[in-house]
Amino acid sequence: MDNYEFTNNWFETSAKAIWSQLFNQTKPKKILEIGSYEGASTCFLIEKLSLYHDSFEIYAIDTWDGGVEHKEMKINMKLVEERFHKNTSLAIKNSSKKIELKTFKDKSINTLSKLITNQKSNYFDFIYIDGSHMASDVLSDAILSFELLKINGIIGFDDYLWKLPNSNNLLTNPKIAIDSFTNIFALRSAIFRTPNHQVYIKKTN
Protein backbone atom coordinates (compact mmCIF):
# COMPACT_ATOMS: atom_id res chain seq x y z
CA MET A 1 0.00 0.00 0.00
CA ASP A 2 1.74 3.19 -1.23
CA ASN A 3 -0.23 5.85 0.60
CA TYR A 4 0.71 5.00 4.18
CA GLU A 5 3.07 7.41 5.94
CA PHE A 6 5.73 5.48 7.83
CA THR A 7 9.05 7.07 8.81
CA ASN A 8 10.91 3.85 9.66
CA ASN A 9 11.09 0.18 8.65
CA TRP A 10 11.06 -1.38 12.15
CA PHE A 11 8.08 -3.59 11.44
CA GLU A 12 9.26 -4.55 7.91
CA THR A 13 12.57 -5.82 9.25
CA SER A 14 11.30 -7.55 12.39
CA ALA A 15 7.85 -9.08 12.61
CA LYS A 16 6.41 -8.86 9.09
CA ALA A 17 7.80 -12.09 7.61
CA ILE A 18 7.07 -14.00 10.82
CA TRP A 19 3.47 -12.77 11.06
CA SER A 20 2.79 -13.58 7.38
CA GLN A 21 3.65 -17.20 8.06
CA LEU A 22 2.17 -17.41 11.57
CA PHE A 23 -1.21 -15.89 10.66
CA ASN A 24 -1.61 -18.22 7.68
CA GLN A 25 -1.64 -21.00 10.27
CA THR A 26 -3.38 -19.40 13.27
CA LYS A 27 -5.74 -16.80 11.72
CA PRO A 28 -6.26 -14.78 14.93
CA LYS A 29 -9.50 -12.79 15.26
CA LYS A 30 -8.97 -10.92 18.53
CA ILE A 31 -5.67 -9.10 18.71
CA LEU A 32 -4.09 -6.80 21.26
CA GLU A 33 -1.03 -4.72 20.48
CA ILE A 34 1.09 -2.83 23.03
CA GLY A 35 3.04 -0.10 21.22
CA SER A 36 1.44 0.97 17.94
CA TYR A 37 3.53 4.05 17.06
CA GLU A 38 2.63 5.04 13.45
CA GLY A 39 0.51 1.93 12.93
CA ALA A 40 2.83 -0.13 10.71
CA SER A 41 2.05 -3.32 12.64
CA THR A 42 -1.64 -2.34 13.02
CA CYS A 43 -2.06 -1.73 9.27
CA PHE A 44 -0.45 -5.06 8.49
CA LEU A 45 -2.90 -6.75 10.89
CA ILE A 46 -5.83 -5.03 9.18
CA GLU A 47 -4.68 -6.01 5.67
CA LYS A 48 -3.71 -9.57 6.52
CA LEU A 49 -6.68 -10.50 8.71
CA SER A 50 -9.06 -9.05 6.11
CA LEU A 51 -7.99 -11.99 3.93
CA TYR A 52 -9.35 -14.48 6.47
CA HIS A 53 -12.28 -12.98 8.36
CA ASP A 54 -15.46 -10.99 7.71
CA SER A 55 -14.99 -9.27 11.05
CA PHE A 56 -12.23 -8.99 13.64
CA GLU A 57 -11.06 -6.87 16.59
CA ILE A 58 -7.80 -5.06 17.24
CA TYR A 59 -7.04 -3.33 20.54
CA ALA A 60 -4.13 -0.87 20.16
CA ILE A 61 -2.47 0.54 23.28
CA ASP A 62 0.04 3.39 23.20
CA THR A 63 0.79 6.45 25.31
CA TRP A 64 1.95 8.17 22.10
CA ASP A 65 4.45 9.78 24.41
CA GLY A 66 7.40 7.66 23.20
CA GLY A 67 9.82 5.50 25.13
CA VAL A 68 13.15 6.68 26.56
CA GLU A 69 14.78 5.97 23.19
CA HIS A 70 12.28 8.18 21.28
CA LYS A 71 12.82 11.02 23.74
CA GLU A 72 16.58 10.81 23.12
CA MET A 73 15.94 10.95 19.35
CA LYS A 74 13.67 14.01 19.91
CA ILE A 75 10.85 12.45 17.88
CA ASN A 76 7.68 14.55 17.62
CA MET A 77 5.18 12.08 19.10
CA LYS A 78 2.18 14.28 18.27
CA LEU A 79 2.96 13.78 14.56
CA VAL A 80 3.51 10.05 15.17
CA GLU A 81 0.07 9.80 16.73
CA GLU A 82 -1.51 11.72 13.83
CA ARG A 83 0.15 9.34 11.37
CA PHE A 84 -1.19 6.35 13.34
CA HIS A 85 -4.76 7.60 12.92
CA LYS A 86 -4.27 8.50 9.24
CA ASN A 87 -2.62 5.19 8.37
CA THR A 88 -5.10 2.96 10.20
CA SER A 89 -8.10 4.90 8.82
CA LEU A 90 -6.74 4.30 5.33
CA ALA A 91 -6.24 0.58 5.98
CA ILE A 92 -9.79 0.26 7.31
CA LYS A 93 -11.20 2.22 4.36
CA ASN A 94 -9.41 -0.10 1.93
CA SER A 95 -10.81 -3.22 3.58
CA SER A 96 -14.31 -4.44 2.86
CA LYS A 97 -14.47 -6.20 6.25
CA LYS A 98 -16.00 -5.14 9.58
CA ILE A 99 -13.01 -4.07 11.66
CA GLU A 100 -13.31 -2.97 15.25
CA LEU A 101 -10.16 -0.98 16.04
CA LYS A 102 -10.15 0.20 19.66
CA THR A 103 -7.36 2.59 20.65
CA PHE A 104 -6.29 3.20 24.23
CA LYS A 105 -4.06 6.23 24.80
CA ASP A 106 -2.60 5.33 28.16
CA LYS A 107 0.17 3.35 29.80
CA SER A 108 -0.16 -0.34 29.02
CA ILE A 109 -0.21 -1.27 32.73
CA ASN A 110 -3.37 0.84 33.21
CA THR A 111 -5.18 -0.43 30.10
CA LEU A 112 -4.28 -4.08 30.63
CA SER A 113 -5.44 -3.94 34.25
CA LYS A 114 -8.74 -2.34 33.18
CA LEU A 115 -9.27 -5.00 30.51
CA ILE A 116 -8.83 -7.71 33.15
CA THR A 117 -11.30 -5.92 35.42
CA ASN A 118 -13.70 -5.67 32.45
CA GLN A 119 -13.86 -9.46 32.00
CA LYS A 120 -11.39 -9.78 29.13
CA SER A 121 -9.34 -12.59 30.73
CA ASN A 122 -8.72 -15.45 28.26
CA TYR A 123 -10.05 -13.27 25.43
CA PHE A 124 -7.27 -12.58 22.90
CA ASP A 125 -5.83 -14.92 20.25
CA PHE A 126 -2.67 -12.92 19.68
CA ILE A 127 -0.89 -10.24 21.73
CA TYR A 128 2.16 -8.29 20.54
CA ILE A 129 4.38 -6.63 23.14
CA ASP A 130 6.37 -3.75 21.66
CA GLY A 131 5.78 -0.86 24.08
CA SER A 132 8.21 0.34 26.70
CA HIS A 133 11.52 -1.57 26.56
CA MET A 134 12.33 -1.07 30.26
CA ALA A 135 12.53 -4.48 31.95
CA SER A 136 9.99 -3.71 34.68
CA ASP A 137 7.43 -2.55 32.06
CA VAL A 138 8.03 -5.55 29.78
CA LEU A 139 7.55 -7.88 32.75
CA SER A 140 4.22 -6.32 33.78
CA ASP A 141 3.09 -6.27 30.11
CA ALA A 142 3.92 -9.97 29.84
CA ILE A 143 2.17 -11.05 33.04
CA LEU A 144 -1.01 -9.04 32.44
CA SER A 145 -1.11 -10.05 28.76
CA PHE A 146 -0.82 -13.71 29.71
CA GLU A 147 -3.99 -13.34 31.79
CA LEU A 148 -5.77 -11.75 28.80
CA LEU A 149 -4.63 -14.47 26.38
CA LYS A 150 -6.75 -17.52 25.48
CA ILE A 151 -5.40 -21.03 25.91
CA ASN A 152 -3.47 -21.78 22.68
CA GLY A 153 -3.17 -18.04 22.09
CA ILE A 154 0.22 -16.54 21.26
CA ILE A 155 2.26 -13.66 22.70
CA GLY A 156 4.99 -12.14 20.53
CA PHE A 157 7.76 -10.07 22.10
CA ASP A 158 9.74 -7.67 19.94
CA ASP A 159 13.30 -6.56 20.64
CA TYR A 160 14.50 -9.48 22.78
CA LEU A 161 18.11 -8.39 22.26
CA TRP A 162 17.51 -4.63 22.11
CA LYS A 163 19.77 -2.50 24.32
CA LEU A 164 19.31 1.09 25.38
CA PRO A 165 22.21 2.94 23.70
CA ASN A 166 24.96 4.04 26.09
CA SER A 167 23.62 1.97 28.99
CA ASN A 168 25.08 -1.16 30.56
CA ASN A 169 22.17 -1.56 32.93
CA LEU A 170 20.31 -4.82 32.19
CA LEU A 171 17.16 -3.33 33.68
CA THR A 172 16.83 -0.89 30.76
CA ASN A 173 16.48 -3.80 28.27
CA PRO A 174 13.65 -6.30 27.56
CA LYS A 175 15.77 -9.48 27.72
CA ILE A 176 15.90 -9.98 31.50
CA ALA A 177 12.11 -9.51 31.70
CA ILE A 178 11.36 -11.93 28.83
CA ASP A 179 13.74 -14.51 30.32
CA SER A 180 12.18 -14.14 33.78
CA PHE A 181 8.65 -14.41 32.39
CA THR A 182 9.32 -17.45 30.20
CA ASN A 183 11.08 -19.22 33.08
CA ILE A 184 8.43 -18.50 35.70
CA PHE A 185 5.54 -19.34 33.32
CA ALA A 186 7.27 -22.42 31.88
CA LEU A 187 4.62 -24.84 33.21
CA ARG A 188 1.85 -22.85 31.54
CA SER A 189 3.46 -21.93 28.23
CA ALA A 190 5.82 -23.09 25.51
CA ILE A 191 8.36 -21.08 23.56
CA PHE A 192 7.94 -22.00 19.94
CA ARG A 193 9.81 -19.44 17.89
CA THR A 194 12.71 -17.03 18.42
CA PRO A 195 13.45 -15.49 15.01
CA ASN A 196 14.80 -11.97 14.26
CA HIS A 197 15.39 -11.03 17.90
CA GLN A 198 11.76 -11.83 18.70
CA VAL A 199 10.28 -14.44 21.05
CA TYR A 200 6.91 -16.15 20.54
CA ILE A 201 5.22 -18.19 23.26
CA LYS A 202 1.99 -20.18 23.31
CA LYS A 203 -0.26 -20.36 26.40
CA THR A 204 -0.73 -24.04 27.10
CA ASN A 205 -2.81 -23.91 30.28
Ligand X SMILES: C[S@@+](CC[C@H](N)C(=O)[O-])C[C@H]1O[C@@H](n2cnc3c(N)ncnc32)[C@H](O)[C@@H]1O
- 16 or 27: whose CB is closer to ligand X? 16
- Nearest approach in angstroms of CB 204 to ligand X is 26
Q: Are 32 and 127 in contact (CB under 8 A)?
A: yes
End-to-end CA distance of the chain: 39
66: contact with ligand X by CB under 6 A = yes
Select from 30, 83, 107, 203 the one that contacts ligand X (CB under 6 A). 107
Q: What does the alpha-carbon distance between residue 96 and residue 198 come to, in Å, rounded to a whole number? A: 31
Told to check if 131 binds ligand X by CB under 6 A, we report yes
d(CA 202, CA 205): 9
Site for ligand X in 140-199 (CB under 6 A): none
Report the nearest approach of ligand X to the CB of residue 187 (Å).
28
DSSP assignment string, 92-104 = HHT--SEEEEEEE
# residues contacting ligand X (CB under 6 A)? 22
Applying CB under 6 A, does 200 fall inside the site for ligand X? no
Please give the full DSSP string across 176-205, using - where no structure is assigned: HHHHHHHHHTTTTEEEEE--TT-EEEEE--
Q: Does 10 bind ligand X (CB under 6 A)?
A: yes
Window contacting ligand X (CB under 6 A); options: 30-38, 47-55, 95-103, 116-124: 30-38
> Are 60 and 36 contacting, i.e. CB atoms less than 8 angstroms apart?
yes
Residue 67 engages ligand X in binding (rule: CB under 6 A): yes
The CB-of-137 to ligand X minimum distance in angstroms stands at 5
The stretch near ligand X (CB under 6 A) out of 86-94, 95-103, 126-134, 149-157 is 126-134
Among 32, 45, 62, 198, binds ligand X (CB under 6 A): 62
DSSP string for residues in 98-163:
EEEEEEE-S-HHHHHHHHHHTT-TT-EEEEEE-S--SHHHHHHHHHHHHHHEEEEEEEEES-TT--
Applying CB under 6 A, does 41 fall inside the site for ligand X?
yes
88 near ligand X (CB under 6 A): no
Summarize as ranges the residues that interact with ligand X (CB under 6 A).
10-11, 34-38, 40-41, 61-67, 107-108, 130-132, 137
